[in-house]
Amino acid sequence: MKARAVVVFLGRVQGVNFRAYCAEKAEAMGLDGYVQNRWDGSVEAVFEGERSTIETCIEWNKTSQPYARVESVEVSWSEPNGEFQGFRALR
């Protein structure tokens, strides 16, 4: 089932190449969307694709990022709107 997830990663997630690794993994998994730093030190990602694939990608980012330390994750699910093609790391 296709889905859209807006995800906020909190912890040591800026200055550790989190966005680059997240984008690389999401693209490899065939997800669409983007990842960007937020002013409060967290990182926001929007994933669109198969829900199970999104869940796997979120879990990878929580536990397998090489230099980050994710302390918590906030996820909001909704219907995908198809606005993205590919996955990009934004500023």
Cα–Cα distance between 3 and 53 in angstroms, integer?
Answer: 10
**What residues does 77 pair with on adjacent strands?**
5
Q: Could you report the per-residue pLDDT of 40-49, keeping only the tens digit for each?
A: 999 999 999 9
1 and 51 Cβ atoms separated by less than 8 Å: yes
- As annotated, the active-site residues are 19, 37
Secondary-structure percent of the chain, ordered helix, strand, coil, rounded to 5: 25, 40, 30
Q: Which domains does the chain have, with CATH numbers?
A: 2-78 (3.30.70.100)
Give the confidence band of 91 by pLDDT, cuts at 50, 70, 90.
Answer: confident
Main-chain dihedrals φ then ψ at residue 32, nearest 5 degrees? -110, 155
Q: What tokens appear for 59 in the block? A: 């879990």
Q: Could you report the per-residue pLDDT of 11-67, keeping only the tens digit for each?
A: 999 999 999 999 999 999 999 999 999 999 999 999 999 999 999 999 999 999 999
